[in-house]
């Protein structure tokens, strides 16, 4: 986890506990004086303000990061309280500085100063109104929704009480239509209680965003991409238009295979796919149904998990192997403190948070990963991804702290995934894990497995914020929350609710990121960017094969260009950073089409006599 002024998920949640900077009982005379003070602010005042922010925030980042690290590695009530205390201090400062940064909106400042001021303003995911009572109410709404989601369970018809984790595990492997339907409906009994809370939160958060000078909260979120809010929305639609032909053919093929499995009466071949049949509680990724749709003779002839065992890889050797990937590109080896301070295996004597994460604790060289590594092929790839975050964090360490972040919020995930795309059979052979590279006839299976996660996710990654932007703008009102949600899911994903939904249902709330108020466009962007980065880096590496077979391992040319982009952090518009690697300032989703080209040809052939579309 990387803590910068762009607040962590923990800090973002805590932000709601902080009151606005102005007291509601401020007199008219006070307000006049405040207005006069704003009018007299200068560029020199802006610099003094920013200098003070960067000094204080660096100390706060270190304190909050250390407390959070200790909590996640030694989970007790005391460490939780200490982490919350430090995060609250960090968040209070973030709220205060965002409000103060807004005072410089009409002051003439340098481009660098304006960029830093905007970063401060836009770091607030849910800005509190400048009213103590409303701010406190906003805090309670967030806590209540988080509690409803976190404590949510469902008791089955057989009397078994299941958590979301347990339900998701069952959905990933069950092929029983009725069981899947029960689990899908069961989880959605948790969220209706959130609906009035969410509606009130939208009202208060919009007021907070308007206090910072934005039309509504959606406009504020979309302003974080070095383009106008309308331009950003248009850009996402353009990118989706590029990917849609591939997605449509994948959808058509998967629908046909599911029709064979469950019957075309349950999976009509001329409409959306019922959402509960795709192996995932939200139908956002479909990899869990690979066994139902896998091409014939798709086995590549090796299993990475087996090969790791054969070659005596333990957890440390797996991480060393991933580090070797980066040093082969010309990056400096990880510091010794990485090895002494990271968590690689689950301790036997205490509870820890095992979710894989990458950390920078001191904004300089104290980089670490926290991961309960399993000796599997999946975790070997994940380690490469996590180290991608670490090498990014170290690359921009010389930037001012307000610029110590990725170029936009999609870049960090995209970089990690870009590196993981190079964990190909070619790479596995070069490091001695497999003896030979399977011929191209085996590529379809590998590409199908990846497409079920990567390509299938893209429209879901787009529509979550599409729905929220309509809610924030008032286009979608509470009585239409659920209807609008499923209209978007059918429009973009071709996925439908398997049963009629009650008017009072709140199915968006069944997805964590909605009640947690985590912007979602970043995940859409990451899925677009990673393939273009991979394509460009492969070209720099002199690759002559299809890009899905390419690994940039040992390419100093690719490594040098990648590092040049990473070093920029968020100091310049993301378009400038993008151009360093890709040569273009505009994202281009055709790289995804190039990557999956053999699969797309195969899908079209399979779909020849089918009625596609939804």
Buried b (16+ CB within 10 A) or exposed e, 51-64: eebeeebbebbbbb
Catalytic residue among 166, 169, 294, 356: 356
Contact 28, 21 (CB under 8 A): no
Per the structure, how many domains does the chain have?
2
Catalytic residue among 68, 86, 386, 490: 386
Q: Is 593 inside a domain boundary?
A: no
Q: What is the pLDDT of residue 39?
A: 60
Tokens of 135: 């701010």
Question: Is the alpha carbon torsion for 425, 428, 429, 434 positive or negative?
Answer: negative
Q: Is 499 inside a domain boundary?
A: yes
Find, among 516, 479, 484, the residue nearest to 497 by Cα: 484
Q: Mark which of 170, 186, 214 sits at the end of a domain.
A: 214
Residue 324 and residue 428: Cα distance in Å, rounded? 13
Q: Are residues 62 and 209 in the same domain?
A: yes
* Each residue's pLDDT tens digit, 229-277: 999 999 999 999 999 999 999 999 999 999 999 999 999 999 999 999 9
Q: For residue 413, indicate whether it is catalytic.
A: yes
Residue 34 and residue 383: Cα distance in Å, rounded? 51
Q: For residue 149, indicate whether it is catalytic.
A: no
Catalytic residue among 137, 257, 315, 513: 513
Tokens of 568: 């920029």
Region of 120 (left: φ > 0; alpha: ψ -120 to 50; beta: rest) is alpha
Q: Are residues 96 and 188 in the same domain?
A: no
Q: For residue 386, indicate whether it is catalytic.
A: yes
Q: Is 367 inside a domain boundary?
A: no
Catalytic residue among 68, 86, 182, 413: 413
Tell me which residues of the chain have a pLDDT lower than 70: 1-39
Residue 17 and residue 378: Cα distance in Å, rounded? 39
Q: Mark which of 477, 500, 519 sits at the end of a domain.
A: 519
Q: Are residues 184 and 48 in the same domain?
A: no
Q: Are residues 189 and 252 in the same domain?
A: yes
Q: Are residues 238 and 277 in the same domain?
A: yes
Burial class (CB in 10 A: 0-12, 13-18, 19+), 205: buried
The domain in which residue 93 lies consists of 9-142+200-214
pTM of the predicted protein model:
0.88
Q: Mark which of 214, 246, 265 sits at the end of a domain.
A: 214
Q: Is 570 inside a domain boundary?
A: no
Catalytic residue among 251, 276, 384, 385: 385
Q: What is the pLDDT of residue 580?
A: 97
Q: Are residues 195 and 266 in the same domain?
A: yes
Catalytic residue among 198, 225, 253, 523: 523
Q: Are residues 104 and 183 in the same domain?
A: no
Q: Is 442 inside a domain boundary?
A: no
Q: Are residues 248 and 123 in the same domain?
A: no
Give the 3-state secondary structure of residue 49: helix
Query: Residue 495 pairs with which residues in a beta bridge?
Result: 273
Contact 455, 449 (CB under 8 A): no
Q: Is 599 inside a domain boundary?
A: no
Q: Are residues 47 and 122 in the same domain?
A: yes
The tally of CA atoms less than 13 A away on the side-chain side of residue 552 is: 25
The tally of CA atoms less than 13 A away on the side-chain side of residue 40 is: 6
* Each residue's pLDDT tens digit, 204-221: 999 999 988 899 999 999
Query: Residue 153 pairs with which residues in a beta bridge?
Result: 163
Find, among 393, 352, 349, 350, the residue nearest to 373 by Cα: 352
Q: Are residues 134 and 159 in the same domain?
A: no
Residue 465 and residue 490: Cα distance in Å, rounded? 15
Q: Are residues 70 and 122 in the same domain?
A: yes
Give the 3-state secondary structure of residue 359: strand
Looking up tokens 């400048």 gives: 130
Q: What is the pLDDT of residue 277?
A: 98
Q: Is 242 inside a domain boundary?
A: yes
Q: Is 486 inside a domain boundary?
A: yes
Q: Are residues 294 and 162 in the same domain?
A: yes
Catalytic residue among 231, 311, 355, 585: 355
């Amino acid at each position: 986890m990387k803590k910068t002024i762009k607040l962590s998920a923990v800090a973002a949640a805590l932000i709601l506990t902080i009151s606005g900077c102005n007291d509601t009982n401020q007199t008219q005379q006070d307000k006049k004086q405040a207005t006069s003070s704003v009018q007299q602010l200068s560029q020199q005042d802006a610099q003094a303000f920013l200098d003070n922010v960067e000094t204080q925030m660096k100390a706060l980042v270190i304190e909050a990061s250390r407390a959070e690290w200790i909590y996640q590695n030694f989970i007790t009530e005391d460490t939780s309280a200490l982490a919350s205390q430090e995060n609250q201090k960090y968040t209070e400062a973030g709220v205060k500085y965002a409000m103060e940064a807004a005072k410089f909106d009409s002051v003439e400042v340098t481009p660098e100063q304006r960029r830093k001021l905007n970063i401060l303003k836009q770091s607030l995911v849910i800005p509190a109104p400048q009213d103590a009572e409303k701010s406190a109410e906003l805090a309670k709404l967030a806590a209540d929704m988080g509690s409803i989601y976190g404590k949510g369970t469902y008791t089955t018809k057989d009397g078994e009480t299941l958590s979301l984790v347990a339900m998701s595990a069952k959905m990933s492997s069950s092929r029983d239509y009725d069981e899947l339907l029960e689990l899908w409906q069961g989880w959605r009994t948790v969220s209706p209680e959130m609906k009035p809370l969410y509606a009130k939160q939208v009202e208060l958060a919009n007021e907070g965003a308007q206090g910072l000078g934005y039309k509504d909260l959606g406009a504020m979120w979309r302003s974080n991409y070095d383009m106008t809010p309308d331009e950003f929305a248009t850009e996402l639609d353009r990118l989706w238009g590029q990917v849609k032909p591939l997605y449509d053919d994948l959808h058509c093929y998967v629908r046909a295979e599911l029709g064979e499995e469950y019957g075309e009466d349950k999976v009509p071949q001329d409409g959306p796919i019922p959402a509960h049949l795709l192996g995932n509680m939200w139908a956002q990724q479909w990899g869990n149904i690979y066994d139902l749709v896998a091409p014939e003779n798709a086995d590549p002839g090796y299993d990475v998990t087996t090969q790791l065992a054969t070659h005596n890889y333990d957890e440390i050797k797996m991480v060393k192997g991933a580090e070797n990937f980066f040093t082969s590109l010309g990056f400096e080896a990880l510091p010794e403190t990485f090895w002494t301070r990271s968590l690689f295996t689950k301790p036997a004597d205490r509870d820890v948070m095992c979710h894989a994460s990458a950390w920078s604790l001191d904004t300089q060289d104290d980089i670490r990963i926290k991961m309960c590594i399993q000796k599997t092929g999946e975790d070997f790839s994940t380690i490469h991804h996590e180290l991608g975050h670490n090498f990014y964090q170290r690359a921009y360490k010389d930037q001012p702290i307000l610029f110590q972040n990725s170029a936009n919020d999609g870049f960090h995930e995209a970089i990690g995934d870009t590196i993981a795309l190079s964990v190909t059979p070619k790479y596995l052979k070069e490091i001695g894990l497999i003896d030979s590279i399977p011929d191209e006839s085996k590529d379809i299976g590998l590409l199908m497995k990846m497409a079920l996660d990567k390509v299938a996710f893209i429209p879901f990654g787009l529509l979550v914020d599409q729905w929220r932007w309509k809610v924030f703008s008032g286009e979608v009102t509470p009585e239409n929350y659920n209807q609008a949600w499923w209209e978007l899911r059918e429009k973009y994903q071709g996925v439908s609710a398997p049963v009629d939904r009650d008017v009072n249902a709140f199915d968006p709330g069944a997805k964590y990121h909605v009640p947690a108020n985590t912007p979602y466009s970043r995940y859409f962007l990451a899925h677009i960017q990673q393939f273009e980065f991979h394509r460009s880096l492969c070209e720099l590496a002199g690759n002559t094969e299809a890009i899905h077979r390419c690994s940039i391992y040992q390419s100093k040319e690719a490594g040098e260009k990648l590092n040049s982009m990473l070093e920029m952090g968020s100091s310049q518009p993301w378009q400038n950073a993008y151009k360093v690697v890709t040569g273009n300032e505009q994202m281009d989703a055709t790289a995804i089409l190039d990557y999956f080209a053999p699969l797309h040809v195969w899908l079209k052939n399979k779909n020849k006599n089918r009625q596609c579309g939804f």
